[in-house]
Structure 1
Amino acid sequence: MRTAPTLNSISSPIIKEFLVTINEKRFRICFIPSQGSNLAFVNAIEVFLAPEDFIPDTAPLVTPAGSRISFDGLSSQVLHTLFRINVGGPTLTPINDTLWRNWIPDDSFLLNPMAVRNSDFFSDSPNYREGGATEYTAPDPVYKTAKEMNIDESRQLNFFNVTWSFNVSKSSSHFVRVHFCDIISVSLNVIIFDLYIYNKFSARINPYDKMGQLAAPFYYDFVVDSDESGIMNISIGPRPNSPNQTAFLNGLEIMELIKKSDFVSCPGNLESNRTSLFAIVGSIGGGSFVIILVAIVLLSLKRRNTKRGQSSSWPFSGPFYARSSSYNRMSEKTSNMLPTNLNLALRLSYHEIEQSTKNFDSNLVIGEGGFGKVYQGMFRGIKVAVKRSEPGHGQGLLEFQTEIVVLSQIRHRHLVSLIGYCDERFEMILVYEFMEQGTLRDHLYYSTADLEKSYSTRSKLSWKQRLEICIGAAKGLNYLHTGAAGGIIHRDVKSTNILLDEQFVAKVADFGLSKSGIPDVEHSVDVKGTFGYLDPEYFMSLQLTDKSDVYSFGVVLLEVLCARPAVINSNKREEVNLAEWGMHWLRKGQLDNIIDPVLVDTINPNSFRKFAETTEKCLRVYGSERPIMRDVLWDLEYALQLQLTPINRGPLEDSITNASLEFSMPILHRLPSNSSPAVNEDNTTLVFDDTSDVTASEVLTELRIGDSR
């Protein structure tokens, strides 16, 4: 396939994505300079296996005149992705997609933005049904958002169409996939509408004839021939006989069918030199593959060495079937690229770190994460953890700098301490205090090679220990949010980033994704974090606040209670995501059905009830409804005190399995959320400011608890 010249272009990435059926065991991709150029290059190639029957072999063919016939042989075509639109939703990056695709918002393609509005976010899981879409057709977020007609009851005329317009190749064939999921209706059979292509072809859309249930994703495929204008219009509009005069759309994909004239001959010593986009060799095998080619465009050939040696974060991370890309460590000029506000007193020599880890002995590796391997070492007589960046890992210079800046400015008993860093010899190394007991997750369930598919509980922690660990982590996060100038948002709270020392004191770790300062509501922040812990509001709005940490911490609370990962592979969709699974049982008042078996008959029912209440508040969809970390800390301290309060049970009374949500709660005055005085029952004024180290357990000695059992 021929691509556009790259010289004298801006230096933003060019990503080319193709879907091609390969009926051979091996294939080859060639890059040949186009006419008038002597340059052909690529920076990275990714190959993903697509599901079987991902593209149908037959689809309706729509022409600009509106005629509709059948197009056969579609699955054997080479498809070039032009647009993948998340209608009514934000940008979706590969980490949010089941097939590592990119989705972009639809707003810039609307002819009349005032004609539509974003539907309310659908907080439950899509109701995937046989015969409809699957989670591989499009990711959940596509089906959880939509645009619907902006109906104004005060207008006399609300019967209009909503149109999206796309620039496509002239007189070419395009594969168009249109995604629907009725998340706006409250009952069946109330919305029937039309889908238009070029205003001359229409298709009747009845979600209930197609799926028979609400919130059930489905899609329609077409092959559309473009006209000489090079513009493709796709519209939705109401039908006169529809009970609800509206229409909606969730997603849209447009792929160009590559013409034979765009194929190039791939030279080489192949047994069969085929004229095609890809020259294929071999004899057996088959399947559909998504090929993604990424080229970083140069400003000019003369400047191509200007920034040589700087590392950049690869935009796609995750499972792949084949990948080839280049990675450079920091150059010897690394120190010149580091910010001037780094604490030079923490700078350590590479030689000293190398000695402390016995030349980075593989036998001393104690873990591996997004930044690189972590080694145990002995540094100046104390045991340390040494985190060393490695080629190919997702995190790089920015995370390295952030970690140093954040940890050099803060100090707290429940935050892991940074001993020093090293940026010599092309290295990025961080040295921390050593945490004897490892991560919190290590004490909840076994970490297998494929954790999401197989796990087993391993916890021997008592409920009291678990509460104390949660309280420690909450203290660390509360200090981050309130104790530092402007506040710090961690952005990656999870059980592997809560470490335990020899006495099981919890400390929050890994600040590479942290954001400092007061949140700027006028500017969005790229979504970063770990799947399963991400705040849905942050994901949808791209507005980061400290309430995003609160949501992630709520997932950790469920992990502690249930001793299972945040995400698992399960045949039951409601079980896949721990937050959704936990909220499902919380709404039913039966959270005790999924607790760690080790905890059965050991939890004070009042303590359990308070913990469940706290978890539910943390996991609310809207951040404004979630508590601040100080309130979460207070509630956890309260739950601990309730656990330590004996309950006088009758001989026939059971544990939390029967009575967890039936016990009356002791009466307790709460700590104020802000820096303001509080008056207890004896009219004694208590003052708590942002730096106060007073905890709920200490206040409980001052306040009177009534109705304790």
Structure 2
Amino acid sequence: MALEMVYRLNIGGSSIPQVEDTGMFRQWSEVRTDYLLTDGVNPRDPSLKLKYSKIPKYIAPDTVYQSAVSMGPNSTRNSMSNLTWGLPVETGFNYLVRLHFCEIEPGIDISGIREFTIYIDYQLAEEMADVILWADDNDTPYYKDYVVMIQNKGEDSHTLAIDLHPRTDADLCDAILNGVEVFKLSDLSGNLAGLNMVPPPMDQQPTLAANKSNTKKTIFIAIGSGVGFLVMAALVCFMVLYKLKMTERYGSCHPLAKWWRWFRPNPYKREFSRRTASSLPGELCHYFRLDEIKTATNNFNEDLIVGVGGFGNVYKGLIEQGNIAVAIKRMKQESRQGAREFMTEIEMLSKLRHVHLVSLIGYCNDEGEMILVYEYMTNGTLRHHLYDTPNDPLTWKQRLQICIGAARGLHYLHTCTKHPIIHRDVKTTNILLDEKWVSKVSDFGLSKMGLDNAAISTLVKGTWGYLDPEYARRQQLTEKSDVYSFGVVMFEVLCAQKALNHGLQEEERNLASWARKCIERGAINKIIDPYLMNKIALDCFKVYVELAESCVSEHGIKRPTMNDVMEKLEFALELQEYAEATKDTDSEEVSFCVATTNGAPWYNNVYHGQVLESTSGIELSTISTRLSYPSLDYY
């Protein structure tokens, strides 16, 4: 297997002289602004003394690790964006992507401060990147290797995307990168040239083989000083071939960024495509054999069931010789959901990667079984922590943060492609919580591609209690249908009551309509979770309830977008934190009243004497300016 260096970029942008470094020619280029597609800041310390305790010093020049790009101090903006680079590459080849890291900011010297997620070509590479955890110290260089296949889909070129998204549960909502190298790997015949290869301009492609004269020069230098490079190339090839062999032996996901499994063709894909209308993206997620699934679940042991839904049972399983926990959803034969929903979920989650969407690891379609394998979410469903549960109640701030995460995931669905992706089954059992209580939207079996600013006609599907009444009446689906369902979730979170409860009086059975009536009557305090008494700031409560009420409006045109929902929830959290930070221990009883559109009060003496006080008489609009608010079944 041959390698060709395509990019070697110093992300921090420092100028690096072209010199021989410990016997190995290292040609590094300053990163051009058109490669970096988002804003960032450039921490840099040319005098920094680096500690090469984890990698050899010849891997990259010191200057690479003495400079970097990070996102900056604005945590709110960072949480809604990525650090993104776009690198043009040829299609039809595998690429080795090497990312270089070094924490050079003095205040970041322990793990957990700056954690982020890495996506390569829109696929999850690292769910929790932590440079200090990898390197054990700051000022210590480190690198990570990933392999990605760029398929030829009728185009000669493709922009390879590298996205870093900060984890909102870390102390610092930020991401960092120091350098990037991209190597093209030869195909099975040893070829490194594309079918219609046209050498790109030198200012657009900093490659060692850009043209004939440059190639000769590179060969001449490599003969004299390329021993180190050949050793590194041999090691890389050995690593790739070793991972391929491990894939054949164990047939499961491996920690090498989950990219190694793309190298081998899927032996089951052709068989599956004969059974279905279209083939599944087998190269984007792993195919598990049924015997592997049975081993992972101890032959579907009922003691390992962690959830039950319309699709079937969900089992906690172990793969990678018992080292990785996964959630395995097995479709029951009598399930009303069928192959179409099965395919939809695989196709959807194989293409979508976001920190607030549950990740699909693989699938099984063996011996009549239809099985999906996901990342395991330690804390289960949101519903399991709201009512009918032995778990301790969630705090109000936890509930707000969970809602914000789910809103971000839905906003991503509505905006990540040319046309919005409508989830169509948003509910508390489809919002999952990981070990750090980060929320992720799951279950995409009913999802459907929508149209911009227009409804699509489709059969009504969803869950009663969460179902948009306008969609149910007209059979016209838009992304505002997801907004309605999310509004129901918000009331569930506030009231700790079921969305639909036939055990109550008729007027109270549907939570959304009952909450609207309580708001109109000024009696919303009567249905709020008693645990939250004396725990919600008044201004936060007002923003939250008004937002939830607008989400469940009868008419979609009156509902906010998911972007509006996300921003207002973040504002509500800021109000809560502000009120808690400025709370006077000698607070007086508070009563508050605000008029609805028809002039009737919806909020009278809420929590009379049992809420955090309003912010010392400061108007809500003043707080808004101060806080820089821009505008208003398990698996």
Match status 1:343 vs 2:281: yes
Instruction: Please tell me the residue identity of whatever aligns with 2:276.
Output: L
Structure 2 matches for 1:271-670, cutoff 5 A?
Answer: 335-340=273-278, 342-345=280-283, 346=285, 347-380=287-320, 381-446=323-388, 460-518=393-451, 524-646=457-579, 647-648=583-584, 651-654=587-590, 656-658=606-608, 665-667=619-621
Alpha-carbon distance, 1:652 to partner? 3.2
Kept in 2: contact 1:374–1:387 (CA 8 A): yes
Q: 1:609 to 1:523 in 2, by over 3 A?
A: closer
One-letter amino acid matched to 2:274: N
Rg larger for: 1
Partner-residue secondary structure (3-state), 2:472 = helix
- Note closer, same or farther for the CA distance 1:561–1:702 as it changes in structure 2 (3 Å cut): closer
User: Secondary structure of 1:539's partner?
Assistant: helix
In the alignment, residue 413 of structure 1 is paired with which amino acid?
A: V
The answer to whether the 8 A contact 2:487-2:549 is kept is yes
Distance 1:704 1:418 in 2: 34
Q: 1:433 to 1:668 in 2, by over 3 A?
A: farther
Q: 1:163 maps to what in 2?
A: none
> Partners in 2 of 1:431 and 1:569 — Cα distance?
34
- In 1, the alpha carbon distance for the partners of 2:571 and 2:495 equals 20
Residue 631 of structure 1 aligns to a residue in which SS?
Answer: helix
**Counterpart-to-counterpart distance in 1, 2:484 and 2:352:** 23
1:96-111 correspondence runs (5 A): none
Output the aligned Cα RMSD: 2.9
* Whole-angstrom distance in 1 between the partners of 2:299 and 2:504: 46
Displacement of 1:382: 1.0
CA distance in 2, matches of 1:668, 1:588: 29
Q: Does the residue aligned with 1:555 lie in a helix, a strand or coil?
A: helix
CA contact (8 A) 1:668 1:703 kept: no
Deviations 1:187-220 (A, max 9, x none): xxxxxxxxxxxxxxxxxxxxxxxxxxxxxxxxxx
Larger deviation, residues 406-415 vs 514-523: 514-523
CA-CA distance at 1:703 after TM superposition? 6.0
Name the amino acid aligned to 1:658: H
- Matched letter for residue 374 of structure 1: V
Residue in 1 aligned with 2:83? none
Take 1:385 and 1:535, find their aligned partners in 2: how far apart are those partners?
A: 30
Residues 283-334 of structure 1: per-residue CA shift (max 9 Å, x gap): xxxxxxxxxxxxxxxxxxxxxxxxxxxxxxxxxxxxxxxxxxxxxxxxx965
8 Å contact from structure 2 (residues 486, 551) kept in 1: yes
Report the TM-score, using the length of structure 2 for normalisation.
0.50
SS at match of 1:480: helix
CA drift at 1:571 = 4.9
Contact 2:455 2:478 in 1 (8 A): no
User: 1:344 is aligned with what amino acid?
Assistant: G
Give the SS at the match of 1:435. coil
> Where does residue 595 of structure 2 map in the other structure?
none
Match of 1:693 in 2: none
Q: Give, in angstroms, the shift of residue 338 of structure 1.
A: 2.9
- CA gap of 1:703–1:625, structure 2 versus 1, over 3 A, is closer
Letter paired with 1:376: K
C-alpha displacement of 1:493: 0.2
Inter-CA distance 645–394: structure 2 relative to 1 (3 Å threshold): same
The aligned amino acid for 2:461 is K
CA distance in 1: counterparts of 2:587 and 2:406, whole angstroms? 37
Q: Which sits farther off after the overlay, 466-475 or 482-491?
A: 482-491
Aligned pair in 2 of structure 1 residues 669, 385: CA closer, same or farther (>3 Å)?
same
Check conservation: 1:600, 1:657, Cα contact below 8 A. Answer: yes
1:459–1:598 Cα contact (<8 Å) kept? no
Cα pair distance change 1:617/1:665, threshold 3 Å: farther
What letter is aligned with 2:338? G
| Deviation for aligned residue 1:373 | 0.8
Q: Which protein has greater RCO, CA pairs closer than 8 Å, 6+ apart?
A: 1
Does the CA-based 8 Å contact 2:450-2:479 persist in structure 1? no
